Structure 1
Amino acid sequence: MTMKVDLFYSFRSPYSYLALPKTRELVTDYDLDVNLRPVYPLAVRVPGFFKKANPQFARYVVRDSTRVAEYQNIPFRFPRPDPIVQDMTTLEVAAEQPYIHRLTRLAAMAQLEGRSLQFTSAIAPVLWDGSVAGWNEGDHLARAAESAGFDLAAMDAAISTDPDRYEQVIAENEKDHAASGHWGVPTFVFESEPFFGQDRIDLLLWRMQGKGLAKR
């Protein structure tokens, strides 16, 4: 029987991006279905989060995620522009958030089709791997989406006609994420047990194997 895991994912989280290669390997190697469920980043989900966090928090995340990428040989550079419109000097988060709303709604649409992991695996590297100067410019996202069998223009058009439908999907994801026992991303949830962080995938695999996870 195919095992199922939820993956709560944010497009601003470097660790979410860094979790994708191992996650895809799991799906390739094992009889496993990973339901990637996009949520908004803490900057949007928890107003004032960065102002309340230790000032060293963001600096450490930058240093550590860069180190993890180097160790795992994953192409990596922080997105330009940042998916969250935020003044990193004052830590003020802008009221208008065009980038993260678009990205998260697109992934929610792919989730409804049962293909959110495929969509995100194609799109996220455009933001994070440093291969393009501006991920939001030109046809970078469209070509990446097309490589995974998605029509980005059609998706954008569908979302623009009924954005509330996709906001409801995201809200439900955030509700279930909060109920899982963790607030950060990436969080994998298997049989109601949360595994937070890209460095807990091996532990997740161990747990699933103990429950009979089979190789493909």
Structure 2
Amino acid sequence: MTYSAQLYWSFRSPYSYLALPRLIALEDEYDLKFEVHPVRPLALRQPDFFQREHPKWLHYLLTDVARLAEHLGIHFAAPNPDPVLFDHDKNQAADDQPHIDRLTRIGVLASEQGKGLAALYAISKRIWSGQAWTEDGVLDAALTEAGLEPGDILARAETEADRLDGVIRANEDALEEAGHWGVPTMVYKGEPFFGQDRIDLLIWRMERDGLTKR
């Protein structure tokens, strides 16, 4: 019997990115499948988020993410460009979001084809490389690496935008119904496990339910 857990995930969350290698390794090690549910970043779901945070929050976040990446041995650099466009005068996300909307739709399409984790990782390691990930061919190469047909995926991200946006909103509603709002959040039998530092706790819970290694 294959066990499953829902994974709520955002392309702009550095913690989500840093969790991916461990989640992929767990699927290889255990009889386990993560059902990928991409959501928009909190900056879009809660536009006043950055206005409400403590002034030192961002500095701590950047410090923590950098040392976590070093600890895990994962290359990490600021994205170029940022997947979320900001209106710095208002200190919130801009109304028009060409990058993150497209990326999140691509994530949904990849998940629907059973390639969710592979696509998230292939794309994210390019976003967080510090290199110009929006250049021609970069996303194509990532999707090919994940075992997907880039021409099909990129075209459908445009032609099926309304349907995909509906799936994304449903994912966001399901995340809140499960009891959290942040990412990455894993949900098993309705119980949320928020944060990359709760992966071990999730596996502990599932092992108590009978999850075994392959």
TM range (shorter): over 0.9
Match of 2:125 in 1: 125
Distance in structure 2 (CA, Å) of the matches to 1:36 and 1:56: 32
Structure-to-structure mapping, 1:49-88, within 5 angstroms: 49-87=49-87
How large is the RMSD of aligned CA atoms in angstroms?
A: 1.3
Report the counterpart of residue 93 of structure 1 in structure 2: 93
Q: Which residue of 1 aligns with 2:213?
A: 215
- Write out per-residue CA displacement over residues 148-170 of structure 1, whole angstroms, 9 at most, x where no aligned residue: 11122221212222211101110
Tell me, yes or no, if structure 1 residue 177 matches structure 2 residue 172. Answer: no
Shift, 1:172, TM fit: 1.0
Alignment equivalent of 1:164, drawn from 162, 166, 188: 162
In 2, distance between residues paired with 1:55 and 1:136?
A: 31
Deviations 1:2-48 (A, max 9, x none): 00001100001000000001100100000001011100001111121
Partner residue of 2:202?
204
- 1:38 alignment counterpart: 38
Q: 1:137 aligns with which of 131, 135, 147?
A: 135
Mind listing any 5+ residue stretches in structure 2 that lack a counterpart?
Answer: none
Which amino acid is the alignment partner of residue 178 of structure 1? E
TM-score normalised according to structure 1 size: 0.95
Of stretches 18-27 and 159-168 in structure 1, the one that deviates more from structure 2 is: 159-168
Residue 147 of structure 2 is matched in structure 1 by 149
- Are the aligned partners of 2:47 and 2:92 in contact in 1 as well (CA < 8 Å)? no
The 1-side partners of 2:182 and 2:109 are apart by 22
Offset at residue 78 of structure 1 (A): 1.8
Give the number of aligned pairs. Answer: 214
Distance 1:206 1:89, change over 3 A: farther
Shifted more, 84-93 versus 108-117: the winner is: 84-93
Aligned equivalents of 1:201 and 1:88: distance in 2? Answer: 34
The one of 166, 172, 187 aligned to 1:189: 187
1:24 aligns with 2:1: no
* Kept after mapping to 1: 8 A contact 2:4/2:33: yes
- 1:92 deviates by 3.0
Separation in structure 2 between the aligned mates of residue 89 and residue 98 of structure 1, nearest angstrom: 19
Q: Tell me the distance in 1 between the aligned counterparts of 2:70 and 2:89.
A: 27
